[in-house]
């Protein structure tokens, strides 16, 4: 019994140590941007906007695979949480999908804009409605239009979905698309871009909005005033409902934080940004 | 022997007394803490908070719609789950059904330990589409879905509590009553239940507290629309889901302050119902 236990633990330990050996062999093929992280170790905590998460995750994964001594954690919570937590020093990078408010900026936070993101209306894929005007969207969300047949769809009462008040996605939607018209009280409130996508994908009568980067085959994005929401349309200015994605730090960043921010601005970072469906902004000179 | 047995007794009695005082102190401190955070909010904007309009962009921070949602959810869930729980636990007491009772108790004990978020996620993918298809007026995210899942959530805890409380009483009286010619069901209905008002009250209070205090189920299933509605098929928000949604706003803003008021009202509702049920139980016991 004792000898089997001993044998078993020796086998486990040797398997574990061989795992770490194989990952260090990847170091030779790493790009120059990654090599900055070669001899570093430490922790980096990131929290905030849910739209930023795919980009942050991809970058963090590559860095942590390159150098297992670095630990990067990524949390959501929305733009409000991001600004709050970085101001309190709970995280090193707070992501927001909107510019900082005065009360937040006055706490010494510095913003680094790294991507442009559009916010588009999303519908369930089974919904035949393929285009909407801005006025129609305003009327739907204020409760004036209540049934899909008024828009050329099937007879079904419209289910409204919106985000919670601390959301950066909601802020740009409310300001630019709804032109500050109050949203109907009966709208369902969901707490993240991901939850919005799941709700719309499951409800045939649903209408919601999300960051363009999150849109995939499970939802459909109708044309807005004749423009199909896409990254090219955002870049050219044809699609006006856009916002910048920001990383915020307390004062000037240093150490792993500064290296991570530079990594996001580098060509590898730009590749992650494009892959997640956003448009990369170049680093400020 | 360094310590005599009597001095070990006094020592342990003192230690236990100290621990009890500490726990009591913590509970009182909790109430005092919430009250001290909520009082300034009520002083400065009490009337505002008690309106039924929640529209932060219009400077309206009324939370009564959420209070209504919480109360409807908790009261209906408890009223529906309690008779079922009582029935199941009485069923498990009867010796002739003991073969079926054993697996029921085991499964119920396991179910009582399942985290609420698991129920909420399962219901999101199974119950919500069902409600949406059965009732065309609803998107599936409504009070009805939350109530159904809440009933499933609080039932196991109530069953386990009732069973452990009623079983000893039943053991004591069963043989005597049977020898007098009473059947097992008559023993339960006429002998055990009338004197077990304390156990019944405890189970009801436990179920109600769990129902009014749960966050994940109303957050994921009830739709979170900040409206005061009479229909179970409409989207509604509870105080707990409200706290969960609004906590991401900036500290010091009126929305954030409304959370303290919401927490205080939640505590107050729970306390009120507990006192009412205990009062009813005492008057019932006094009648016998």
- Residue A114: phi and psi, rounded to 5, are -120, -10
Quote the CA–CA distance of B34 and B48 in Å, as a whole number: 19
Handedness of CA A138, A143, A148, A150 (dihedral sign): negative
Is B188:B165 a contact under the CB 8 Å cutoff? no
Residue B288 touches partner A, C-beta closer than 8 Å: no
* CATH code for the part of the protein at A2-115+245-280: 3.40.190.10
Cβ-defined contact of A186 to B235 (cutoff 8 Å): yes
Tell me what pLDDT residue A142 has: 92
Residue A24: is its pLDDT beyond 60? no
Which is nearest to B257 in space by CA: B39, B32, B66, B55?
B39
Residue A188 touches partner B, C-beta closer than 8 Å: yes
CA atoms within 13 A on the CB side of B211: 35
Task: Work out the average pLDDT over B262-288.
Answer: 84
Handedness of CA B211, B213, B216, B221 (dihedral sign): positive
* CB-count exposure of residue A184 (10 Å: 0-12, 13-18, 19+): middle
The end-to-end CA distance of chain B, in Å, is 51
Which A residues 104-143 touch B at CB under 8 Å? Answer: 104
* CB-count exposure of residue A67 (10 Å: 0-12, 13-18, 19+): buried
| Residue A77 banded pLDDT, cuts 50, 70, 90 | confident
Quote the CA–CA distance of A89 and A106 in Å, as a whole number: 15
CA atoms within 13 A on the CB side of A208: 34
Tell me what pLDDT residue A30 has: 62
Tell me what pLDDT residue A168 has: 84
Distances (CA, A) of B201 to A5, A52, B60, B85, B281: 52, 50, 39, 13, 6
Q: What is the ipTM of this complex?
A: 0.79
- Write the pLDDT tens digit of every residue in A226-277: 888 888 888 788 888 888 899 999 988 888 898 899 889 888 888 888 888 8
Quote the CA–CA distance of A278 and A54 in Å, as a whole number: 10
| Residue A21 banded pLDDT, cuts 50, 70, 90 | very low
Contacts of B230 in chain A (CB under 8 A): none
Is A128:A153 a contact under the CB 8 Å cutoff? yes
A104 → closest Cβ in B141, B226, B250: B250
Q: Which of B225, B253, B256, B259 would you mutate first to test chain A, the one with the most A CBs within 10 A?
A: B225
Task: Work out the average pLDDT over A172-190.
Answer: 90
Looking at chain A, the domain(s) classified CATH 3.40.190.10 span 2-115+245-280, 117-242
Q: Selecting from 3.10.180.10, 3.30.1490.20, 3.40.190.10, 2.40.50.180, what CATH number does the domain A117-242 have?
A: 3.40.190.10
Token digits of residue B57: 């962009």
Quote the CA–CA distance of A262 and A260 in Å, as a whole number: 5
Task: Work out the average pLDDT over A72-81.
Answer: 88
Cβ-defined contact of A157 to B141 (cutoff 8 Å): no
Rounded to the nearest angstrom, the minimum Cα separation between A227 and chain B is: 29
Cβ-defined contact of A83 to B250 (cutoff 8 Å): yes
Residue A94 touches partner B, C-beta closer than 8 Å: no
| Residue A16 banded pLDDT, cuts 50, 70, 90 | low
Residue B139 touches partner A, C-beta closer than 8 Å: yes
Quote the CA–CA distance of B49 and B108 in Å, as a whole number: 41
Whole-angstrom Cα Rg for chain B: 23
Residue A285: is its pLDDT beyond 50? no
- Write the pLDDT tens digit of every residue in B151-176: 999 999 999 999 999 999 888 888 88
- Write the pLDDT tens digit of every residue in B187-229: 888 888 888 888 899 999 999 999 999 999 999 999 899 888 8
| Residue A23 banded pLDDT, cuts 50, 70, 90 | very low
CA atoms within 13 A on the CB side of B131: 25
B139 → closest Cβ in A174, A198, A203: A203
The residue that leads in pLDDT, B153 or A278, is: B153
Rounded to the nearest angstrom, the minimum Cα separation between A80 and chain B is: 5
Residue A139: is its pLDDT beyond 90? yes
Quote the CA–CA distance of A280 and B3 in Å, as a whole number: 75
> What is the interface size between A and B, counted as CB pairs within 8 Å?
71
Residue A146 touches partner B, C-beta closer than 8 Å: no
Residue A153 touches partner B, C-beta closer than 8 Å: no
Contacts of B240 in chain A (CB under 8 A): none
Quote the CA–CA distance of A179 and A141 in Å, as a whole number: 11
Quote the CA–CA distance of B90 and B170 in Å, as a whole number: 10
Percentage of the residues of chain A whose pLDDT score is greater than 70: 92
Q: For A91-117, b where at least 16 C-beta lie within 10 A, e where not — what string?
A: bbbbbbbbbbeeebeeeebebbebbbb
Helix A255-265 / helix A267-275 crossing angle, nearest 10 deg? 70
Token digits of residue B239: 């105080």
Rounded to the nearest angstrom, the minimum Cα separation between A199 and chain B is: 9
Rounded to the nearest angstrom, the minimum Cα separation between A14 and chain B is: 37
| Chain A residue at shortest CA distance from B251 | A84
- Write the pLDDT tens digit of every residue in B55-107: 888 888 888 899 999 999 999 999 999 999 999 999 999 888 989 999 999 99
Q: What angle do CA B260, B224, B43 make, to 5 degrees?
A: 25
Tell me what pLDDT residue B1 has: 55
Residue A20: is its pLDDT beyond 70? no
Residue A52: is its pLDDT beyond 60? yes
Q: Locate all alpha helices (DSSP H) within chain A, ordered by sequence.
A: 2-24, 32-35, 53-66, 79-88, 102-105, 134-142, 168-172, 193-202, 231-236, 255-265, 267-275
């Amino acid at each position: 019994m004792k000898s089997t236990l001993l044998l078993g633990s020796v086998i486990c330990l040797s398997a574990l140590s061989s795992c770490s050996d194989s990952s260090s062999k990847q170091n030779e093929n790493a790009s120059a941007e990654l090599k900055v992280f070669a001899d570093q170790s430490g922790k980096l905590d990131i929290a905030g906007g849910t739209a930023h998460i795919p980009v942050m995750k991809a970058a963090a994964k590559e860095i942590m695979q390159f150098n297992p001594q670095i630990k990067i954690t990524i949390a959501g919570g929305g733009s409000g949480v991001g600004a709050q937590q970085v101001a309190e020093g709970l995280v090193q990078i707070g992501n927001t999908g909107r510019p900082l408010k005065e009360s937040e900026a006055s706490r010494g936070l510095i913003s680094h804009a790294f991507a442009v993101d559009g916010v588009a209306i999303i519908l369930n894929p089974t919904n035949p409605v393929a285009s909407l005007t801005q006025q129609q969207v305003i009327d739907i969300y204020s409760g004036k239009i209540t049934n899909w047949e008024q828009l050329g769809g099937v007879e079904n009462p419209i289910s409204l979905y919106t985000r919670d008040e601390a959301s950066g996605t909601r802020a740009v939607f409310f300001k630019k698309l709804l032109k500050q018209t109050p949203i109907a009280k009966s709208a369902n409130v969901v707490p993240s871009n991901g939850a919005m996508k799941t709700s719309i994908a499951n409800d045939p009568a649903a209408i919601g909005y999300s960051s363009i980067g999150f849109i995939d085959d499970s939802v459909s994005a109708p044309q807005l005033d004749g423009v199909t929401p896409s990254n090219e349309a955002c870049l050219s200015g044809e699609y006006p409902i856009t916002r910048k994605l920001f990383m915020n730090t307390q004062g000037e960043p240093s150490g792993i934080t500064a290296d991570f921010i530079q990594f996001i601005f580098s060509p590898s970072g730009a590749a992650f940004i494009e892959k997640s469906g956003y448009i990369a902004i170049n680093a400020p000179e | 022997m360094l310590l005599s047995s009597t001095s070990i007794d006094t020592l342990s009695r003192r230690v236990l007394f100290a621990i009890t005082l500490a726990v009591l102190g913590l509970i009182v401190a909790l109430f005092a803490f919430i009250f001290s955070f909520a009082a300034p909010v009520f002083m400065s904007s009490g009337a505002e908070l008690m309106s039924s309009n929640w529209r932060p962009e219009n400077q309206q921070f009324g939370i009564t719609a959420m209070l209504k949602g919480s109360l409807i959810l908790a009261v209906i869930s408890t009223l529906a789950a309690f008779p079922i729980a009582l029935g199941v636990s009485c069923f498990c007491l009867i010796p002739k059904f003991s073969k079926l009772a054993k697996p029921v108790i085991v499964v119920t004990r396991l179910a009582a330990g399942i985290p609420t978020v698991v129920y909420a996620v399962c219901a999101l993918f199974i119950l919500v589409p069902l409600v949406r298809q059965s009732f065309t007026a609803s998107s599936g995210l409504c009070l009805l879905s939350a109530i159904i899942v809440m009933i499933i959530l609080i039932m196991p805890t109530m069953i386990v509590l009732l069973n452990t409380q009623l079983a000893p009483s039943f053991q004591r009286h069963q043989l005597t009553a049977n020898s007098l010619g009473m059947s097992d069901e008559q023993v339960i209905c006429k002998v055990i239940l009338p004197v077990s008002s304390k156990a019944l009250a405890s189970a009801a209070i436990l179920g109600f507290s769990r129902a009014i205090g749960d966050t994940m189920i109303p957050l994921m299933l009830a739709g979170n629309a900040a409206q005061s509605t009479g229909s179970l098929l409409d989207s509604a928000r509870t105080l707990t889901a409200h706290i969960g949604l609004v906590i991401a706003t900036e500290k010091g803003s009126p929305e954030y302050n409304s959370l303290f008021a919401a927490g205080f009202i939640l505590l107050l509702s729970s306390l009120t119902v507990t006192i009412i049920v205990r009062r009813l139980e005492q008057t019932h016991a006094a009648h016998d």
